[in-house]
Chains A and B, each alone.
Chain A
Amino acid sequence: MSDAHVSKFRQKLVTEDRTYKQITADVLDTLEAPPTKAWLIGFSISAFFLTIGVMVMIYQVSTGIGVWGLNKTVGWSWDITNFVFWVGIGHAGTLISAILLIFRQRWRTGINRAAEAMTIFAVACAGIFPLIHAGRPWLLYWVFPYPNTRGALWVNFNSPLLWDVFAISTYLTVSVVFWYMGLLPDLASVRDRTKSKMRKMIYGIACFGWNGSTRTWHHFEVLSLVLAGLATPLVLSVHTIVSMDFATSIVPGWHTTIFPPYFVAGAVFSGFAMVCTLMIITRKVMNWENYITVNHIDAMCKVITLTGSMVGLAYGTEFFMAWYSGNPYEQYAFINRAFGPYWWAYWTMISCNVITPQFFWFKKLRRNMTFVFIVSIFVNIGMWFERFVIITTSLHRDFLPSSWVMYSPTWVEIWTFIGTFGLFFTLFFLFIRFLPGIAVAEVKSVYRYARDNK
């Protein structure tokens, strides 16, 4: 544990010199102070859109999903696009909390808490779409294999849609416990420093009686590693299975073996973009620029360029394979994607996902927060369009030309999607208001990284 060998090349993870007490205060004081104006405005706007979203959801569930723009040919479109979009966003949180933990990337400590929270909220948003699409959401428990009065008729275990049910439920619950276990030490810190009796009680219950015993810490660190080890293959499996919703079908444009890695790369790509969007705002609004540093954003931009290039490669491979397969239907599906009636969606996808991340080869641009913010928005738009292009263009011109149609969303679908943004940001605003938005204990444990002062 000697500090004699601090390398000059290592960069400090917390940029300014702080004491442990100051670190606690920097993060947890916001929980004690009255809400700021910025928070109140942001929260109100999000809650407003959430309210509209809830009303629209009530309307479509009570009327029936005929109010959507779907038709006989295009049975999946905005709903599944949004589902895949939100699930994909969640993947970055798990990547940061689990995969970077296994790779001993210590910079993850600054952003892992918020990124994991984002995962949970994004998966919650994702779940809404299949729930409504099921038509009768109160019967959704039918997707689980339970002893029933229909002679114990079991669910179809050959169906990728059922795999998805298991994958998403596992992913959501495991992410929640992983996140919550990490919160315990920080909730205890809130309990021990707050002056309010009410807060002391609530955080006292919530932190499970944590007292920082070294014996507990020892188990805690093993637990984190075990959960990270489980969450890493889990997160890869989730988007693999999401991609199998498409890849195991025989629809041209979907029926490809490239889908699992292509979807996982896309998920990480979109997720990191969303983390950048959120963190650039959060660090500014919460005054956490010493903890969520420019180096963090820089590192995430590199991941965006890597995964963005993988996605670009996948687009190219798809086109090549369509030609190389010699299958005219496959070839038509791809020509139709790029030059058919939805050409604008395809080229939006290409320009947002393939071109914009290439700017991050330049260090100057990776460290320019305004620029990163704009690019991260473009990536989010691009990744939404990717799913729209894959789903809608493959379906709208199907096997019989007589059933070829166009699809466009109704106001119900549009507002449901906006409503999920309301839900996502409402939850995120509540999170940074009432829970420690940075993993305080973890930041303290890496604070002395690249520092030799006592």
Chain B
Amino acid sequence: MKKDFVIATFECDEKLLHTTEKVISKNIDIYDIYTPFPVHGLDEAMGIKRSVLPYVTFAAGLTGLLIAMGFQVWTSAIDWPIIIGGKPFLSIPAFIPITFEITILLGAHTTVAAFLLMNKLYPGKQAVIIDPGQTDDKFIMAIEKDKTNVEDVTALLKENGAIEVRVQNIDLNP
């Protein structure tokens, strides 16, 4: 859905970070900030909640661990026990390496899948680019126009080092 956004362009990550802190302290909601590289502290300044990805990893890893161990026990000791080298059917230590690998395998791939889903990233997705420089050297801040007073926020942004502030009608979340 297309909406009006106040779009501010910065050229310096330091200034951007300070401005973000100021904007947030004035209780203005920032829709998003587009940067060519992760600016440290920006997510905190914007008040982004801590990512839930580690929990996904833990759950997936645990699932992998249980599946791998359960499957090895079932095949080797229950479904078709075969004597190999006189070893016991239920030789848990020998099952550890594969259990470990499957834990990592499931943990890693599920986390990546969750990351892609949560951020709606997939091959061939049409990216919404406000300024081609946002993956190069420009830092773009987007604030929803309805949620703020355009003149005030423009003045604030300009004062704090935005090189350009404009209003643009764009669909940022297709």
A interface residues (Cβ-Cβ under 8 A, vs B): 1, 3, 19-21, 24, 145, 151-154, 156-158, 160, 162-163, 166-167, 169-170, 173-174, 177-178, 181, 184-185, 188-189, 191-193, 204-223, 226-227, 230-231, 233-234, 237, 241, 244, 441-442, 444-445, 454
Q: Which residues of B contact A207 (CB under 8 A)?
A: 127
Q: Is the CB of B135 within 8 A of A210?
A: yes
Q: Which residues of A contact B34 (CB under 8 A)?
A: 211-214
Q: Is the CB of B116 within 8 A of A208?
A: yes
Q: Is the CB of A211 within 8 A of B38?
A: no
Q: Is the CB of A217 within 8 A of B38?
A: yes
Q: Which residues of B contact A191 (CB under 8 A)?
A: 127, 135
Size bracket, chain B contacts: 35 or more
Q: Is the CB of A442 within 8 A of B37?
A: yes
Tell me which of A178, A204, A216, A227 contacts B119 (CB under 8 A): A216
Q: How far is the CB of A116 from chain B (nearest CB, A)?
A: 14
Main secondary structure of the interface of A (DSSP, over half): helix
Q: Which residues of B contact A441 (CB under 8 A)?
A: 36-38
Q: Is the CB of B121 within 8 A of A216?
A: yes
Q: Which residues of A contact B136 (CB under 8 A)?
A: 20-21, 24, 189, 192-193
The closest CB in chain B to the CB of A206 belongs to B123
The closest CB in chain B to the CB of A174 belongs to B108
Q: How far is the CA of A286 from the CA of B174 in the complex (A)?
A: 39
Q: Which residues of A contact B98 (CB under 8 A)?
A: 157, 162-163, 166
Which of the 9-residue segments B1-9, B80-88, B148-156 touches chain A?
Answer: B80-88
Tell me which of A20, A178, A212 contacts B108 (CB under 8 A): A178
Q: Which residues of B contact A193 (CB under 8 A)?
A: 132, 135-136
* Supplied contacts A24-B136, A221-B38, 8 more A-B pairs, CB within 8 Å: A151-B80, A152-B80, A166-B102, A185-B37, A208-B116, A208-B122, A211-B128, A230-B104
Tell me which of B14, B100, B112 contacts A454 (CB under 8 A): B14
In the complex, B19 has a CB within 8 A of chain A: no
Q: Is the CB of B135 within 8 A of A227?
A: no
Q: Which residues of B contact A153 (CB under 8 A)?
A: 80
Q: Is the CB of B115 within 8 A of A223?
A: yes
B interface residues (Cβ-Cβ under 8 A, vs A): 12, 14, 17, 32-43, 46, 48, 50-51, 53-54, 57, 61, 71-72, 75-76, 79-80, 82, 84-85, 87, 91, 94-95, 97-98, 100-102, 104-105, 107-109, 111-112, 115-116, 118-129, 132-137
Q: Which residues of B contact A192 (CB under 8 A)?
A: 129, 132-136
Q: Is the CB of B112 within 8 A of A227?
A: yes
Q: Contacts A158-B85, A166-B98 hold; do A220 and B38 have CB atoms under 8 A apart?
A: yes
Q: Contacts A20-B137, A219-B51 hold; do A230 and B37 have CB atoms under 8 A apart?
A: no
The closest CB in chain B to the CB of A213 belongs to B32
Q: How far is the CA of A193 from the CA of B134 in the complex (A)?
A: 10
Q: Which residues of B contact A442 (CB under 8 A)?
A: 37
Tell me which of B76, B102, B137 contacts A24 (CB under 8 A): B137
Q: Which residues of B contact A237 (CB under 8 A)?
A: 97, 100-101, 104
Q: How far is the CA of A170 from the CA of B84 in the complex (A)?
A: 26
Q: Is the CB of A223 within 8 A of B111?
A: yes
Q: How far is the CB of A268 from chain B (nearest CB, A)?
A: 19
Q: How far is the CA of A442 from the CA of B98 in the complex (A)?
A: 34
Q: Is the CB of B48 within 8 A of A157?
A: no
The closest CB in chain B to the CB of A177 belongs to B112
Q: How far is the CA of A55 from the CA of B100 in the complex (A)?
A: 38
Nearest 7 A/B pairs, CB to CB:
A209-B125, A20-B137, A154-B75, A208-B121, A222-B51, A163-B97, A218-B43
Q: Contacts A24-B136, A205-B124 hold; do A157 and B76 have CB atoms under 8 A apart?
A: yes
The closest CB in chain B to the CB of A184 belongs to B121
Tell me which of A166, A174, A185, A188 contacts B97 (CB under 8 A): A166
Q: Contacts A166-B97, A220-B38 hold; do A156 and B121 have CB atoms under 8 A apart?
A: no
A selection of 30 A-B contacts at a CB cut-off of 8 Å is: A20-B136, A20-B137, A21-B136, A24-B36, A145-B75, A156-B84, A157-B75, A158-B94, A173-B105, A173-B109, A174-B105, A174-B109, A184-B121, A185-B36, A185-B37, A192-B133, A192-B136, A208-B121, A209-B120, A209-B124, A214-B32, A214-B48, A215-B32, A217-B35, A226-B108, A226-B111, A234-B104, A237-B101, A244-B97, A445-B37
